[in-house]
Structure 1
Amino acid sequence: MPNLDSPQVIKVWDPFVRIFHWSLALFFTVAYLTEDDFEAVHFYMGYAISALIGFRLLWGIVGPKYARFGNFITGRDKVVSYLKSLLTGNAEHYVGHNPAGGMMVIALLLMLALTCFFGMTLLAIEGDGPLAGTFVTVFNEDLIEDVHELCANATLFLVFVHIAGVIVSSFLHRENLIRAMVTGVKKVVAKKDEGETYVGK
């Protein structure tokens, strides 16, 4: 475990972000695998994911520096520029999320939110769940079921892209991003302006 008092490491991911990240990964996996055979578990996982999303939206506003959306949400040009720089092996290091990683966070939160919403809409059409009795009950059940499944599969696709991005970034930047999300720290090798350039080993 890195020494947090050492100037060679910097604390990046706070405990709440790390708990959110791994809990979301677990809950989505369970929800996806229990869609057909264990409906009660599937429903509760959906509620848990919804609660996590709500927490992350709040934490993205009031949380510490690297948890805040303002720290990693960038424009399209920065995302494209970063992705191009990855191909040359000369991508800039970021202490928190890089532009592509930040975009992935938003994409995953959005797709998970849509998956949960359409799942609750299905329950509402059947007269159950928190949306029962609302306007969503007028929707066609078969259509909503297809959209819910589409969103879930799109989320799974984004998860695979996310994992691939973590592997590529870890290799190119010579850092262990998975370990950083467990320990919460990364090694700092230099300082540049107000940000830090680092490499985790």
Structure 2
Amino acid sequence: MLKVKVWDPVVRIFHWSLVAGFTANAFFTDPEGETHEVIGLALLALVALRIGWGLVGSRHARFSDFRPSLGAAFGQLGEMATGRRRIHAGHSPLGALMIYNLIAVLIVIGVSGYAMTTYSYFGSKWLEDVHEIAVHWAELSVLAHVAAVVFESRRLGINLPKSMVTGYKTLPATGTQE
């Protein structure tokens, strides 16, 4: 087994802070309260930080390491269907698409949420609808992400959640790796 450094502290702190903030706003804060707004703005700032880190950060944090590719994503689905195992040190193709999806939807949530606090858009029904639809999409995406992490951890024999805590993936010494 090979212990490979994959996730730097910025990626890991971003990830778990995002989990905590999104969970807090989804389940524990008053959607019309100040705490909800402050957490929402903090999440938007985290996403901005992650975008910046995606341009200048460590190898596997950079967007250039996990470009979105439908072809590669379908290839990964084919591998899953046929039982082939291609292990990725960083994000897998499907994981990459999920990251881009989550960043985009969090921007929509944050910008629409902020806009609803402004004089120009306060009480705007269409903007509330956009915000609510985006939140529901994010919740579904999070559920799909968690399910995929559990599935891929079992299929590949790699504890993916542990790697997001420690920063290291334990990979087989043999087999296909990228």
Provide TM-score, normalisation by structure 2.
Answer: 0.92
Q: Does 1:175 align with 2:158?
A: yes
Q: Does 1:27 align with 2:7?
A: no
- The residue aligned with 2:11 is 17
Q: Judge conservation of contact 1:85–1:91 (CA < 8 Å) in 2.
A: yes
Equivalenced residue count is: 178
Aligned with 1:187: secondary structure?
A: strand
Alpha-carbon RMSD: 2.1
Shift of 1:189: 3.0
Q: Judge conservation of contact 2:115–2:121 (CA < 8 Å) in 1.
A: no
- The residue aligned with 1:56 is 50
- The residue aligned with 2:90 is 96
Q: 1:117 aligns with which of 90, 111, 119?
A: 111
- The residue aligned with 2:149 is 166
The alpha-carbon distance between structure 1 residues 109 and 163, as it changes in their structure 2 partners (threshold 3 A), is same
- The residue aligned with 2:177 is 197
Partner Cα separation in structure 2 for residue 188 and residue 178 of structure 1: 14
- The residue aligned with 2:64 is 70
Q: Which has the higher contact order (CA 8 A, sep 6+)?
A: 2
- The residue aligned with 1:133 is none
Question: Unpaired segments of 5 or more residues in structure 1?
Answer: 1-6, 128-136
Shift of 1:191: 6.8
Q: Which runs of 4+ in 1 moved over 6 A?
A: none
Question: Unpaired segments of 5 or more residues in structure 2?
Answer: none
Structure 1 or 2, whichever has the larger Rg, is: 1
Aligned with 2:173: secondary structure?
A: strand
Q: Judge conservation of contact 1:32–1:42 (CA < 8 Å) in 2.
A: no
Q: 1:148 aligns with which of 112, 125, 131?
A: 131
Provide TM-score, normalisation by structure 1.
Answer: 0.82
Q: 2:170 aligns with which of 187, 193, 197?
A: 187
The alpha-carbon distance between structure 1 residues 104 and 30, as it changes in their structure 2 partners (threshold 3 A), is same
Shift of 1:31: 1.2
Question: Between the two proteins, what is the percent identity of the paired residues?
Answer: 34
